[in-house]
Structure 1
Amino acid sequence: MRSLYNCLKRPSLRYFLVSAVFLLGSIRLTAQQELTGIRVGGKVPDIALTGLRNYSSPDIKLSEFRGKLLIIDFWASWCSPCLSMIPKIDSLQKEFTGKVQFLAVTYEKESVAKPFAERMRKRVPSPVPELYEDKALHNLFPHRELPHYVWIDGAGTVLAITGFTDVNKNNIEKMLTGAPGLRTKRDYYTKYDRSKPLFIENNGGGGSTVIGRSLLAGFIPGLNSGSSAPDKLHDTLPFLKITCRNTTIPKLFELAYGEGKIMHARVMLNVKDSARVKFPESADAAVKEKWVAENAYCYELWGPKNTAGYGFELMRQDLNRYFPDYSAKMEKRSVTCLALVRTSKEDKLTTKGEEPAVTADRFGCTLTNTFLSHLITRLDFYYLQNLPYPIVNDTGFTGRVDLKINGNLGNLEAVNRELAKYDVTFTKKELEIDVLVISDKN
């Protein structure tokens, strides 16, 4: 099946993405470009303001407010923090009459913002002038996040650019007395299209602040099939990562529930319609190729290394969501196994106590002062993985051994000829072992 995946060349027409993304920080951290304009310390030009409401004249110059601390309040009718600030700003305006002038400014059309403001004013009359459909002040002080406040002194110099948490009585008094300035609110622009997946093709940035995610995609032509999972003893990555490439549904469940410790021979399908989950072994190449393109998936989970359950529990939750037609669980079942058994009572395995070592490739295996599990695992996961039987150790021997096989580990007869020297052999045997049962959900 691996070779089939590797040779597929037809482009897949189906590609989808399902993800759960956990972000560190906000849009400011995924910034591509900081917005520029008049900065703190800069002089504000004496621009004309037209269409001013709730003021003595509708058309004025900005210099009308010279001699006072001018605080421009950029807001919008959809902005909850903006609305929550209205009573507070009204109160501050009344408290600092003659010293401070607030100016409420929105880019929204007057037909949208004015009716909203009028409804607010019926409840709480306001002394703050309002400017609708503004472009001039927005061009001088571009921003992305609301509310946005620009503090300008009586001479027309920008003293501060802040968020709403800085607008309070204490800070106003500091500014009026010339105390050190407030922290500067910075705004950034990141291109984002909400109709497209986050971070794909740099939508919303490159994803540099992602600290965890899971992703499911369809078959990807040209990508070799396989999977990898964290090894608690030898994992050197600074983060947790589980990956499956062009993998079938049973293989996905096998990794998630077996946690990398079981192979396909321990997976039992209990489904009425197996067309989606069972590879058509006897079909011709074209049918196999089409089946793989329609029924193979790519999955990846990564996140903090201290993730509970080393990520497998999260993977199981993902698969239950992504494939709601199926359920999976580990069960004890009596199945035919390829069991390593003793052929005599004589012990020819116990180690002589040299330095522990394991060497293995397709042409042989040497175990020195170590455990039989090293041989069992290599045969089960690699060299004899295509056999339809789980490979288990049924010798009852749990101690350290010395064992050497000179022969093709992919040939069971060759392996047994070598094992005969130690009075052990592999044979078919019914045993009760842990298996993964995949069933229809209902």
Structure 2
Amino acid sequence: MKSSKRLYITILILVCSCTIGQKLKGQELTTVRIGDRIPNVLLPELLNHPKGSAQLHDFLGKPLIIDFWFLGCSSCVKLMPHLDSLQKEYHGKLQILLSTHDEREKVENFFNRSRYVQGIKFTQVINDAVLKKLFPAMIMPHQVWIDKNGIVKAITDGNSATRENIEKFIEGKDFDFVPKIDEELDPFVANAVQPAMLYNYIGNKEKILKYSYLSEFRPEFSGTSTRSIEDPVNHILRFKSMNSHFLMLYNFAYGGGLGILEDTHLKTRFIIETNSTLPRVPELNNYNQYYCYDLICRYDGAEDGISKAISKYMIDDLDKAFNVKSHEEKKLVKCWVLKEYGDSKVYQEPVGEGMGFKANAEELEPGKQLIIENFFVRNLTQLLNYNSEIPFVNKVGNKGKISFIVTWKPNNVKAMSAELRKYGLEIALEDMERDVIVLRDR
């Protein structure tokens, strides 16, 4: 299932609009639920349709499945051959209508060039701004099953589109499906736009001294982290980090709500010496180690007041919840150091084909080429720190782009430096003083 979650987004302000009672070009758009009759709205732009536009009711008279997708949803694309086979098998008995917010040119290019969907032709709504308001969704795939009379029978993901269910659907019988819950349909809940403390929050927020919430992983929330001023007059701030790994929560806590900086290296940022419930060897892919944190509190009006308030309350909350005592100290850590060599600036010129940009730093394998093409130095350092076993420190500078090709040989620094020198770069292993967060038993 393709989700909008991204686990390490640091600062992201989300703006959501209510789907109830909106109008688009004169059309009343009200969220449609299971059991409702669909409105006869205009679909102004269709692909693979003789008229190029249609009313939604034009597709009734036989059971209809609307399948929502977008170009970045690999799970959606993987369903298409299966949906195509269903459409052919039940030709004349079933209508499958695809819908995407992507533009015509991008959709046409995708179906022409992708080997996975070549030869498949669906009637589909493109540049959609209507159906997504009627049937909002935060998680894809997203399918709406509508009977021949226009009544919504199911809103679910792609797992219910089995032949057994399709046949029952065509015959007007009940079929088995797992309905999407409200949290998967409502952007206000899915993005945690409202605080966990919902009751009359707006009317009483100026009275808040401190409120915090910590829970285990909640799948209805997207993985976002924000810090914002809720009330500048009364000096009230809010910091939230939904579905973040516990290491990231501590990183936020000691950073005053600021997350991954370019030289942040989570694998060496922490020393874990505890017998508490926290694992000694954290697993970034284990959702049991992810938590939701929400803080509303007062802050000092000084320049660093917001960061100090977040650190003060958040460290205390996390330590109490995980039954540990944390602190930050300086440690010597072995680091990769990338720096300039001589006066040459060849690294500022394109390499390879000289087209676009590229960075395969997620493939740091011994003996494999690391190809960097027109990549911002600052972004490269952050990417390398995410994938390397030891920290990367950038001494090239944070401005401009960088290009080079080098064979990754972590056990032969001299050989790597020899390759890099033709670009005006070199690499070294050095012990450097780093800020480390230590977690110990209370």
- Name the TM tier (shorter chain): 0.3 to 0.5
TM-score normalised by structure 1 residue count: 0.41
Which structure has the greater CA radius of gyration? 1
